[in-house]
Structure 1
């Protein structure tokens, strides 16, 4: 004869709470990871572009007025020549 009258008991509520937290934590983690991977703030792909990324960064500094035209052209020439050996 079963004496389970619909009551889960103490351990049933504990396991239900733990599984609830784990499930929603996983759902939130997936949403956050997708948002970070697909969002406009992801610049990690630019780091692998090499001198193209450096040239863009240099052009941004020139556009903001951080460097003058002479410094811009000199640094751009160095970037395009490559490293000295």
Structure 2
């Protein structure tokens, strides 16, 4: 599906969905540049919907370990609970 200038893949968020979810995510921290949060969420959604191993995450979502660590952090700090 094409939304704006972006092709939205099957397991990825539309602009409208991202607008709803983004306020629930912690703002980027100071210091090292952080991976794009939408890209990370899309990677998490891909992993959860496919059931694949974290290490099999497609490169377009960034390093699998980064996506996994963000998933773990957001699980521990209640971010997923607030989203759901």
Q: Larger relative contact order (C-alpha < 8 A, sep ≥ 6)?
A: 2
Normalized per residue, the structure richer in strand is 2
| Higher-Rg member (1/2) | 1
Normalised TM-score (structure 1)? 0.27
Normalised TM-score (structure 2)? 0.28
Normalized per residue, the structure richer in helix is 1
